[in-house]
Structures are given as C-alpha cells and as structure tokens.
Amino acid sequence: MLDVVTLGETCAAFVAKSGGPLRHTLEFERRIGGAESTVAAGVARLGYRVGWISRLGADELGEFILGVMRSENVDVEHVTMVNDEQTGVFIRENRSSGSSNVFYYRSNSAFTSFSADDLDEDYIGSAKILHLGGITPGLSTSCFAAVERAMEIARARNVTITFDLNYRAKVWPPEDARGPLEGLMANADHLLAGREDLIKLTGITDSEAQLNYLIGLGVSNIALKVGADGTICSGPEGVEHVPSIAVDRPVDRFGVGDAFAAGYIVGLLKGLPVPGAVNLANKVAGWSLQLPGNIESLPNWKELDAMSEIIDVTGR
C-alpha cells in the first residue's frame, strides 16, 4: 500500500547559472522540473511511500528524470517511456530581482497524450492520498480528462484528494482555465492556493474575498497562501491565520510551493488539522528556500529538526 500517489508531467529543466536575460546566458544547470514529482520526492524524503504516475519520452532526458525519481525512493512503476515522443523541456532565467522568466518547450511532449485510459484504478486506490495540481489539466484535453477520472477513482476508493491550484497562464489563459479549474477544486478534499495565482485566474485581489470565493466552491479544507502574511486556513475548526516563516536570505524560490505541498501532505498523513499541516508545510518550504534547486533542496527529518528556531509541530 502507498501513502501518496501523484500524477503529472516532469520536464528536463535547464536553469541559467548567471543572472540576466537568457540571451546572454552561456551555462546552465540541468535539473528536473515538475510540480507533482517534486511533491512526491518531498513526501518520500520524509519517510513515506509515494508513487508517481507519468509519461516520458524514451530519450536521454526521460532516462535522466526517471533515474532521479528512482534515486528519491519514489515508485515509478506507472511511468511510461514512449518511443518516438519527446520529453518536455523548460529553460529558466536567473534574475536577482523580479520574476525569472521560464520558457516552455512542452507542447508536443510525451505527457500531453496521457489519457484516462493510462490510469490504473487499483494503483490509485492503494493510496491514502491522491495529489493533483492545476498545471496537468491544462496541458491537453486528454490530460484534463485523466485528472477528472483520477479524482473519480479516488472518490470511489475513499482516497483523500489534495489539489494545488498552481495556476500557470502560460499553460492556459484564465478565460479557458477558470471554469475547468473551479470544477476540479470543488472536487478536492484539501485545496492549496496562492494569492497571486488566484489574482491571475479570477481577478480577485482581496485575500478575504479570495477565501470566500474558494469556500463558495464547496471545498471543505483550504490553505490560502498570502505570501509574507502567512496562510489563511479554513476547515472544520473554522478560519485561522498561520504566520509564515521568515527566511533571511532566500536562495532559490524554484519549487518552494511544491515543498509546501509536500509538508502539508505529510501533516495530513500524521493526522494534523489544517493549521498544523500548514505549520509543517511552512517548515519544509522554509528549509527549501535556503538551498538551490527544487528536489535538491527538499529536507529530511534531521534537517527539519535543525531548524531549532521553529516550533516543532510534526507530531512525531
């Protein structure tokens, strides 16, 4: 039996080593980039059994990604390597201030043809939690149908569904994304959403109004991340504000939201209420911010315990 199953695309990521516009960059670091695979690795680093469902091209970059996930003790039994299809790629600028541009080359990747027929009901049903995100359903019509079907399977098998909005306008514009994503969010047991993502998707700027919008979708448990102001939690216990963790010198924000999701899921596996799960998520994300990379920066328990200035809410 697995603790968590995730579903989503992972690309080969080439991250600029020097700052400034991409046109002037000569050297890159090769990493892997994928929200759901980063979450899977984060949960596995904290000692849980995780499976990742995906499709990769049967090429060198696909083999690289598969090798990294195996090294993280993530089950890759349901990752299909597809001949004559390419693994997705993205390239990220390195800017010391402001947003770093990301350039995607994934429109015809192997994963875009993933469909509901590729899902194994028993595999999803063997997990305690199914984790999904808002990027995958925007990649193609068949990917959206696969996410819907995965939710149906989880619901029928009493598997808890966590959903990270993780909205990307470069994947699908808000006028195309809002309705479908609202349907998916409404079907989640636990919803993670960031203030900036909601602004891009809905145009709603006020945090209280954003929370009311999410509650209006019928979601039972919500973690609304509002940046330096922390996280607003809504659940059976009511609404509660959880402060953020201050990191003096953040090194890399690449994948920090996925680190947060991994910590939140581990909190759920430990039986913590939503505010407690958010506290643990903050701790995992705070550690991740101090190191470069996404998977590379994910902590284990020893490293989390080293954050002695943070109240230990792990419940271990």
Question: Catalytic site residues?
Answer: 258
d(CA 106, CA 301) in angstroms, rounded, equals 34
Phi-psi group of 145: left, alpha or beta (phi > 0 → left; psi -120 to 50 → alpha; rest → beta): alpha
Amino acid letter for position 19: G
Helices 141-156 & 174-186 angle (0-180, nearest 10): 10
d(CA 224, CA 227) in angstroms, rounded, equals 9
272 Cβ contact partners less than 8 Å away, ≥ 6 residues apart? 279, 280, 313, 315
**CB burial class (10 A; 0-12, 13-18, 19+) of residue 207?**
middle
Helices and strands in the chain: count of H runs, count of E runs = 10, 14
Instruction: List alpha helices for 161-237, DSSP H.
Output: 174-186, 195-202, 207-216
Residue found by looking up tokens 């080359």 in the block = 105
Asked if residues 268 and 162 have their Cβ atoms less than 8 Å apart, the reply is: yes
d(CA 224, CA 93) in angstroms, rounded, equals 28
